[in-house]
Amino acid sequence: MFRKFIVVLQLILIATALYTKGWATSYTFYEQLEDSLGLAPGDSSYIDVEGDSTIIADNPYYFRLFLPLTIYQDAISGSFFSSELHNGNDTLLRVDRTGFEQELERYSAVNRALTEIYLKEPGMVQYNDWEVMQETVASHADRSDNRGINFDGMVDGNGMKIDGNVDLVKAKPRYWKWFGYLAVKFSQNAYSDNWYKGGESNNQLATELRLEANFAKKDVTWDNKLEAKLGYYASEVDGQAKFRSNSDLFRITSKFGYKATKSWYYSSQIQGYTQFLPVHDGNGLMKSRFFAPAYASVSIGLDFKPTFKKKGIDLSAQISPLAYNCRYVSVDELAPKYGIEAGKNFLFDIGSRLETNITWTLFKNFTWRNKTQFFTSYKNVEASCENTFNYAINRFFSLQLFVHWRFDDKVQKNEYLGFHQLNENFSFNFNYSW
């Protein structure tokens, strides 16, 4: 059944493409239009991204027909040069495709159908492949440029006369990508005074903000990220409301890269993080506050960014043989708790560092995001693994599980957990991204 549908669709596409009013005239116009835009007629009909053609792997023939209408330069050139062409006597010449005839026929049919839409419904076009590939865009042809091409007196595919006074419009390349994410998390528990197990009624409210500004131009990349989390819960104890923090983070990361090979970049990274508000224990004693502690690192090495054939996977693994790690505690009495000698506020180490960041869409609406960091001075170890599992109910609401494991053998050892630390949170979120 499916094969019959594909055959029928193919025949419809071919018939639509061949039934073209003013085909020969349109061909002449677009041949010169391609030349004015600096296109190369007859180029490969596949879009190649750093040697990877997976952009069309899911459906190499028909996928372009079901995406927002985009001008593809190879669709224009391919529709005329890859299949049936008009010669001077308007007879059809067949190009030999020995060994690939069936595949090229399908792809050429789609190219001809797209070109037909470009000719008859230009207002439907939303994008072009220059924009998709983030390169310079020529949205209109300069019909009186220094190549000597004169469009005056010509007609388009609908028989309309072409105005020769159209300027070349070039859009600036977009080297920056911006991303923002905001989530508000809320949970509530209530117990009656005579609840058989007892319990404390509580309300939890947390916010998460993530901003990214990433630059990419040729072999240079520069990734910048700001992450902020702040969450509090209120519980009622002996008739009084108690407020305590359950998540608090302010982190800035900046990474510069220069391409070495296909998937490897020479890289350097600066990262620093602390918290916003003070935290007290049950006895009212301060445990931490802004810049008590604060962590920072500077690392130099290689960044591995592979391209996966399977979509929905984004991986970056930075290997830094040389790294500088430091911590600062602004409150003197808290310094020993974080491995700093009494009477001092600052501690640094030089060693090696590894950081991996992965975002993986495991299946529809379910995403796993992981950030793993490991630093060793070959005497002490500091490691962290943050896992966020997010299930999107719709565009604005999601369920999220956050699990954070940390190891630091410089801090005071816990009686039960040793140097291991663990934080877990499950929440219902309101999300907004831009």
Residue 23 pLDDT greater than 60, yes or no: no
- Quote the pLDDT of residue 427: 87
Instruction: Please report the pLDDT score of residue 236 as a whole number.
Output: 65
Q: Are the CB atoms for 138 and 37 separated by under 8 Å?
A: yes
pLDDT at 414 over 50: yes
Comparing 400 with 239, the larger pLDDT belongs to 400
Query: Where residue 24 falls among pLDDT bands split at 50, 70, 90?
Result: very low
Q: 312 in the Ramachandran plot: left (φ > 0), alpha (ψ -120 to 50) or beta?
A: left
Strand partners, 209: 182, 228
Percent of the chain, pLDDT > 70? Answer: 65
Q: What is the mean pLDDT of residues 321-342?
A: 93
* Mean pLDDT of the 192-216 span: 80
Most confidently modeled range among 91-105, 272-286, 358-372: 358-372
pLDDT of residue 134: 53
Q: What is the pLDDT of residues 373-391, one digit of tens each?
A: 999 999 999 999 999 999 9
75-84, 160-169, 328-337: lowest mean pLDDT where? 160-169
pLDDT of residue 67: 72
Which of these ranges, 9-18, 46-55, 267-276, 405-414, has the smallest mean pLDDT? 46-55
How confident is the model at residue 408, as a pLDDT? Answer: 92
Residue 114: alpha-carbon gap to chain centroid = 28
Which pLDDT belongs to residue 197? 55
pLDDT tens digits along 139-197 = 333 333 333 444 455 544 455 555 555 555 556 778 999 999 999 988 777 766 666 55
The pLDDT value recorded for residue 319 is 96
pLDDT classification of 119: cutoffs 50, 70, 90? confident
Q: Report the distance separating Cα 105 and Cα 31, nearest Å.
A: 21
Report pLDDT for 103: 65
What gap in Å lies between CA 113 and CA 75, rounded to an integer? 9
SS (H, E, C) 91-151: CEEECCCCCCHHHHHHHHHHHHHHHHHHHHCHHHCCEEHHHHCCCCEEEECCCCCCCCCCC
Average pLDDT, stretch 329-344? 91
- Does the pLDDT of residue 6 top 90, yes or no? no
Measure the CA–CA gap between 65 and 83, rounded to whole angstroms: 19
CB 164 within 8 A of CB 150: yes
Round the average pLDDT of the chain to a whole number and report it: 75
Residue 201: per-residue pLDDT: 72
196 contact partners, CB below 8 Å, separation of at least 6? none
The pTM of the full predicted model, rounded to 2 decimals, is 0.58
What is residue 47's predicted lDDT score, i.e. its pLDDT? 38
Please determine, for residue 136, whether its predicted confidence score (pLDDT) is greater than 50.
no
197-203 average pLDDT score: 69
Average pLDDT over residues 319-337: 94
With beta carbons less than 8 A apart as the criterion, state whether 243 and 234 touch: yes
Phi-psi region of 208 (alpha: psi -120 to 50; beta: other; left: phi over 0): beta
The arithmetic mean of pLDDT across residues 429-434, rounded, is 90
Length of the chain as a residue count: 434
Phi then psi dihedrals of residue 177, to 5 deg: -120, 130
Instruction: Tell me how far apart the alpha carbons of residues 266 and 321 are, in angstroms, rounded to a whole number.
Output: 12
3-state SS, residue 272 = strand
The mean per-residue pLDDT over the stretch 334-357 comes to: 93
Whole-number pLDDT of residue 85: 39
Using the predicted structure, report yes or no on whether residue 97 has a pLDDT greater than 50. no
Please count the CA atoms within 13 angstroms of the CA of 384 that sit on its side-chain side. Answer: 10
Span 253-287, pLDDT tens digits: 999 999 999 899 999 999 999 999 888 877 778 88
Dist CA 171 CA 190 (whole Å):
58
* Among 12-26, 30-44, 124-138, 265-279, the least confident range: 30-44
Q: Is pLDDT at 405 greater than 90 in this prediction?
A: yes
- Least-confidence region, from 64-68, 235-239, 410-414: 235-239
